[in-house]
Amino acid sequence: MKIYHIPAAPPLYTNTFLLVGENGLAAAVDPAAGAQEYLRLLEQEGARLTHILLTHGHYDHVGAVEELQRKTGAKVWLAPQDACGGELFPFTTPDNAYADGEEIRVDTDLAFRVIATPGHSAGSVCLLCGGLLFSGDTLFAGDVGRTDLPGGSWDTLRESLKKLCVAVTENVQVLPGHEEFSTMDRERANNRYLQF
């Protein structure tokens, strides 16, 4: 498996990712903007985008979805709670809804386990892929996502963080939706929001 980090330009500053499996099947995680870069990398790898996986539905994580879907035919996964339309949640037509704990297999060496982590938004999820945790806006390096937007709830996020610490026991790399990367061990030791 190969992974590409594709940071979205200002003002979004979203961490987005393209993962390519050994048989050339690929997944995009939170393609915020810059569909052309995804398409360039897919062509470079001789890969086919089959999955677009969204950690939540906020506008700063979905900007390139429609173009990528139109040009590749990839299917979109999003929790139904976040497929509500409007300025904050612009995307309304996912092909598939997440089920907590399900495995989404993209290629023989590329699969994601869904961990429902509502709180930042009602439909937030984290995606565990081998030694990588795509945490969206649930967990950041030294911080957590805001809860003051529609569908957000501090109490719900706190419960999701507890659940995440139980579900992810190994020291995986944390790839959040914004800012720098981290590890679960570092976050368990230093992130004040994970001190239960």
Query: Does the pLDDT value for residue 11 go beyond 90?
Result: no
- Per DSSP, what are the bridge partners of residue 182? 174
Please report whether residue 77 resides in a domain.
yes
Instruction: Judge whether 190 and 184 are in contact, CB under 8 Å.
Output: no
Helical packing angle, 35-45 and 65-72, nearest 10°? 40
Residue 128 maps to which CATH number? 3.60.15.10
> Phi and psi at residue 134, in whole multiples of 5°?
-85, 105
Q: Is residue 75 part of a domain?
A: yes
pLDDT at 127: 99
Structure-token pair, residue 165: 């610490």
**In this predicted structure, what is the pLDDT of residue 16?**
97
The reply to whether 195 falls in a domain is no
Compute the radius of gyration of the chain from its Cα atoms. 15
Do the domain assignments include residue 32? yes
Residue 109 buriedness (CB in 10 A; 0-12 / 13-18 / 19+)? middle
**Residue 7, domain member (yes or no):** yes
The model's pLDDT over 38-96, given as tens digits with 9 standing for 90+, comes to 999 999 999 999 999 999 999 999 999 999 999 999 999 999 999 887 777 777 789 99
| pTM of the entire predicted model | 0.96
**What per-residue confidence (pLDDT) applies to 93?**
82
pLDDT band at 12 (very low <50, low <70, confident <90, very high): confident
Kindly state whether residue 11 falls inside one of the protein's structural domains.
Answer: yes
- Whether 69 maps to a domain, the answer reads yes
Residue 196 lies in a domain: no
Backbone angles phi, psi at 189, to 5 degrees: -80, -35
Indicate the number of domains in the chain: 1
Domain with 92, as residue range(s), is 2-190
